[in-house]
Amino acid sequence: MTLMRSIISSITPIRRKRLWALLAALLLAVPWSAQAEMMTDVGVHLGIISVATTQINPLTPVEREFMSLTSLIYEGLMYLDDNYQPQPCLAERYSSSTDGKTWFFYLRDGVSFHDGTGLTAYDVAATANEILRLAADGQGRYQSLKYFINSIEASDSRTVVVRTNRANYGFLYAMTFPVLKASEVQDPNPVGTGAYLMEMFEPGVYMLLSAYNGWWQNLPENRQILVNFFSTNRELISAYEYSNVDAVLTRAITAAQYRSGVSSYNIDFRTTQLETLLMNNNARELNDVQVRQAIRYMINMDDIVNNVYYGMVTRTDTPLIPGTWTYWNGDYHQEYNKQRANELLDAAGWDKLAINEDGNTVRTKIIDGKVANLHLRFYVYEEQDNSVRVEVANRIADSLLEVGVECKVETLTYKEAAEKLRAGSYDLCLAAFNIDFTPDPGYLLISGNTANYMRYRSAEMDSLIQSKLRGTMEVSEYAQTLREIQDLFWQDCPLVCLYYRNGAILTRRMFTDARDVREPEALRGIEYFKR
């Protein structure tokens, strides 16, 4: 491979690009054993889905799996460890003012970009300000940064000064954004400081990553990573089955059939996609918490998880992430209980039964002197990577009908569903949220927030989040407040949190010892993968 690279480097750039693309395509046609001989300096050969990515700038990603690659190229001031706690990365240390509104980050010595240029505080400030510029137009992956900082600047080449609008421990999570070179923040393929540099990239075909010899951490033992891109999960899985790639990242439910064994491993990784059942708290049928709680009791999670998603989800009872220090579900948990659902509906006054024109037995109630049926408009939208959401909606609707709650399930486009949610013109909706890294559910639960499509209003919840959670610098107090928020969330039941979607890494060699394998750092640890 080294000789081949020398030969290719001697030809013109256009022909070189085409030849590398041809090499990548040819590699897919031979078994891994042959590839290993041809590419002795490649540590691992990966496959992922990528059809839309034409540039690697990590501030504006367009495909989720691709972010797992860019996380190997770029680093932030902070990173999240296996305990989901923020730790220094490019920053060697940090401090804050007494009031917690000014933070100082002190950069490590000896950190350089892949072109050899030393990292400075000016690069950090320029990157953050580009994120804020994008956020002002509703663009970019790190838009939440605008809610945390008032200004960011370099006081000298080694010190970053950030001014915030409140004392908030959660602020440190926002500082995990990838840092780019100041002159390249808008470039399509900027250099990074991470373990790997991008050596070659043919969108939709392949990418070759090489270990960066100037990395400030221990030099990666896995010297190169070849990544082939596929347009469908079927092609991706087939490439793994025929040993044309060494490992694949996928969110396809079909990956559930591959169990860990002697010669292959199936590593679950948690995505940031939270699936929910939204309930319009303003709707006359749903403004009673007892009705919302009854609906929660009629969701058969075991059935959905095992027979629809085949276990490729992480169940959750609240918007926080299970298995982390942020999560708390006390003595409660989501359970299917038809008897309890019936009791709650009776208590809410929906205690009469009638046969409607469709022949269904539905609950009724006298409202404003007229008989009203307990009928709900139920919307669902499909996504390319989640073709089973409609099936989940129909299973929930069938279950609700057992207790006299009739739902009309209607499938919409994402755009149509978004319009319904913004207008409050719905009763139930299966919808997903891309959760921010910061453990703060205010985006969903604060009265009037843009993502609070449920029209949920609680002065107690507003105070817990805005005054208490966002007003402490102490980890213990932050954790306790998250517990109180989740307790109130369970009692009020403004929506039902179902599960976080999981992805899978199918690999022939275990390449990570991370306890918390998560998006977007699903490949964390691959730098020390040894064949």
The answer to whether residues 298 and 394 belong to one domain is yes
CA distance 11 to 31: 28
Tell whether the model's pLDDT for residue 157 goes beyond 90: yes
| Boundary-marking domain end, from 184, 207, 226 | 184
β-partners of residue 406 are 375
Say if 158 falls within a structural domain. Answer: yes
Residues 6 or more apart whose Cβ sits within 8 Å of residue 328: 318, 320, 482, 483, 486, 487
Please give the Cα distance from 493 to 319 (Å, whole number): 12
Is there a single domain that holds both residue 107 and residue 141?
A: yes
Judged against a pLDDT cut of 60, whether residue 204 lies above it is answered with yes
With respect to residue 86, please indicate whether it lies within any of the assigned structural domains. yes
In a domain, 252, yes or no: no
CATH classification of the domain holding 110: 3.90.76.10
Calculate mean pLDDT across residues 102-122: 97
pLDDT (0 to 100) of residue 343: 97
Mean pLDDT of 198-209: 96
C-alpha span between 51 and 63 (Å, rounded): 8
What sign does the CA torsion over 224, 243, 265, 83 have?
A: positive
Residue 23: per-residue pLDDT: 55
Same domain, 166 and 217: no
Same domain, 475 and 394: yes
What is the CB-side half-sphere exposure of residue 511 using CA atoms within 13 A?
27
Q: Provide the pLDDT for residue 402.
A: 96
Q: Calculate mean pLDDT across residues 98-115.
A: 96
DSSP 111-173: -B-TTSPBP-HHHHHHHHHHHHHHHHTT-STTGGGGGTEEEEEEEETTEEEEEESS--TTHHH
How large is the average pLDDT for residues 372-387? 86
More confidently predicted of 513 and 462: 462
Question: Can you tell me the distance from the alpha carbon of 48 to that of 245, in angstroms, rounded to the nearest whole number?
Answer: 10
Q: How do residues 344-375 score in pLDDT, each as one tens digit?
A: 999 999 999 998 888 889 999 998 889 999 99
Question: Across 60-107, where does the E strand assignment appear?
Answer: 78-80, 86-88, 91-96, 102-107
**pLDDT value at position 165?**
86
Asked whether residue 47 carries a pLDDT value surpassing 50, the answer given is yes
Residue position matching structure tokens 């499938």: 411
The tens digit of pLDDT for each residue in 440-456 reads 999 999 999 989 999 99
Q: Provide mean pLDDT across the span 46-67.
A: 95
Q: For a pLDDT cut of 70, what percent of the chain falls above it?
A: 91
3-state secondary structure of 40: coil
Which two tokens mark 70? 């860019």
| 263 within domain boundaries | no
Cβ neighbours of residue 204 closer than 8 Å, sequence gap 6 or more: 50, 51, 229, 231
Three-state secondary structure call for residue 342 = helix
Domain co-membership, 375 together with 514:
no
The CA distances from residue 333 to 296, 317, 322, 330, in Å, are 11, 6, 12, 8
- List, in order, residues 6 or more apart from 315 with CB less than 8 Å away: 301, 305, 322, 334, 498, 499
Q: Are residues 203 and 172 in the same domain?
A: no
CB 316 within 8 A of CB 490: no
Would residue 391 be called left, alpha or beta, if left means φ above 0 and alpha means ψ between -120 and 50 degrees?
Answer: alpha
Residues 232 and 276 in one domain: no
Q: What is the CATH number for 219?
A: 3.40.190
pLDDT at 472 over 90: yes
Nearest to 197 by CA among 349, 336, 72, 45: 72
* Residues 465 and 394 both lie in one domain: yes
What value does the mean pLDDT of the chain take? 90
Specify the range with the lowest mean pLDDT, choosing from 174-188, 447-461, 466-480, 510-524: 510-524
Residue 429 within a domain: yes
Dihedral, 237, 241, 245, 247 alpha carbons, nearest 10: 70
The two beta strands, 206-211 and 224-230, are antiparallel
- Kindly report, residue by residue over 212-245, the tens digit of the pLDDT: 999 999 999 889 999 999 999 999 999 999 999 9
Strands (E), 321-446: 352-355, 361-367, 370-373, 375-381, 406-412, 428-434
The verdict on 352 and 385 lying in the same domain is yes
pLDDT tens digits, residue range 279-312?
A: 999 999 999 999 999 999 999 999 999 999 999 9
**Taking a C-beta distance cutoff of 8 angstroms, is the pair 54, 40 a contact?**
no
Provide mean pLDDT across the span 34-48.
Answer: 65
> Locate tokens 């022949």: which residue?
359
How many other CB atoms sit within 10 Å of the CB of residue 202? 16
| Preceding omega of 61 cis (within 30 degrees of 0) | no
Interatomic CA distance for residues 58 and 76, integer angstroms: 11
- For residue 144, give both structure tokens: 């939440």
- Taking the C-alpha atoms of residue 271 and residue 244, their distance in angstroms, rounded to an integer, is 26
Task: Flag whether 255 is in a domain.
Answer: no
Measured CA to CA, the distance from residue 222 to residue 234 in angstroms comes to: 28
Domain that holds residue 240: 2-57+64-72+194-246+508-528
pTM for this predicted structure: 0.89
Pairwise CA distance, residues 205 & 213, whole Å: 26
Cβ–Cβ < 8 Å for 274, 433: yes
The reported pLDDT for the residue numbered 515 is: 86
Segment 401-409 shows an average pLDDT of 96
* Domain shared by 364 and 378, yes or no: yes
Q: Which amino acid is at 458?
A: S
Q: What is the CATH number of the domain that holds 422?
A: 3.10.105.10
Domain membership flag for residue 323: yes
Does 357 lie in the same domain as 324? yes
Residue 156 pLDDT > 70: yes
Would you say residue 13 has pLDDT above 80? no
Residue 336 counted as domain residue: yes
Q: Within this chain, do residues 417 and 292 fall inside the same structural domain, yes or no?
A: yes
Return phi, psi of residue 12, to 5°. -65, 155
Per the structure, the count of domains in the chain is: 3
